[in-house]
Copies of this chain bind each other. A is one copy, B any other.
């Protein structure tokens, strides 16, 4: 299998050959010649934590595949109240397909790298290869499931449960030491500030902080310097999710 792929490597663009997410993201649906075509227009871009990628109501000018790091989608009310409506991880595609304007603000939550392509380049490719649209539909359906799952957390869970849910989400999404059923001694760095976490959970930073403290004194998590978290027993954390 690996070898067969290697046979064709000469036709895979140089930039893509080293791409870690190529087979999992939308590029996995591309034929070598399509990948070559698309790669003419793509470029890797780094964003430091906190930098805005695209603003609410701004025109959609490009799409990006997340190479690594966490992207935060949010929406702000006129009076400044803010809600994070989604977190995205590699290899998700960001940018609202088929819409002139964005409906949310996208921002780098951690330091990230994107593989950015012009809006027109991807849309042209989609018209030619419906397989891409299928991949996009599957990602969108998954995001919709996740959004609805999160609505349960926002609408019906207590502050303690919300914070546990959040930690569980992060633990199972970004940690390199987490593989499927591994439940012990997960360690990771939180990709979000307390303010971001509060905006994701519909709480205040004070409440989030208090719940972190409670989880620590209860022995569910260990907090070392900064945002480093250790979860000795993931099952115990899960129990707290309500």
Count residues of chain A with CB under 8 A from any CB of chain B: 40
Contact A103 B140 (CB under 8 A): no
In the complex, what residue of chain B is closest to A155 when comparing beta carbons?
B202
Indicate if A185 sits at the interface (CB-CB under 8 A).
no
Contact with B along A146-182 (1 / 0, CB 8 A): 0111111011110000000000000000000000000
Contact B242 A156 (CB under 8 A): no
| A156 contacts across to B, CB distance below 8 A | 77, 81-83, 202
* Chain multiplicity (copies): 2
Indicate if A104 sits at the interface (CB-CB under 8 A).
yes
Indicate if A96 sits at the interface (CB-CB under 8 A).
yes
Contact A152 B98 (CB under 8 A): no
SS of A interface (majority): helix
Indicate if A219 sits at the interface (CB-CB under 8 A).
no
Indicate if A119 sits at the interface (CB-CB under 8 A).
no
In the complex, what residue of chain B is closest to A148 when comparing beta carbons?
B85
Chain B: minimal CB distance from A25 (Å): 16
Indicate if A144 sits at the interface (CB-CB under 8 A).
yes
In the complex, what residue of chain B is closest to A138 when comparing beta carbons?
B98
In the complex, what residue of chain B is closest to A203 when comparing beta carbons?
B155
Tell which of A73, A86, A152 has the most Cβ of chain B within 10 Å.
A152
Q: A130-B130, A140-B144, A144-B143 are in contact. Are A152 and B97 (CB under 8 A)?
A: no
Indicate if A235 sits at the interface (CB-CB under 8 A).
no
Chain B: minimal CB distance from A164 (Å): 13
Contact A151 B97 (CB under 8 A): no
Task: Identify A148's interface contact among B86, B152, B155, B202, CB under 8 A.
Answer: B86
Tell me the A residues contacting B by CB distance below 8 Å: 73, 75, 77, 79, 81-83, 85-86, 96-99, 103-104, 130, 133-134, 136-138, 140-141, 143-145, 147-152, 154-157, 199, 201-202, 242
Task: Beyond A99-B141, A133-B133, A154-B202, list 15 extra A-B contacts (CB 8 Å).
Answer: A73-B148, A75-B152, A77-B152, A77-B242, A83-B156, A85-B149, A86-B148, A96-B145, A98-B141, A103-B148, A133-B134, A143-B144, A144-B144, A151-B151, A155-B201
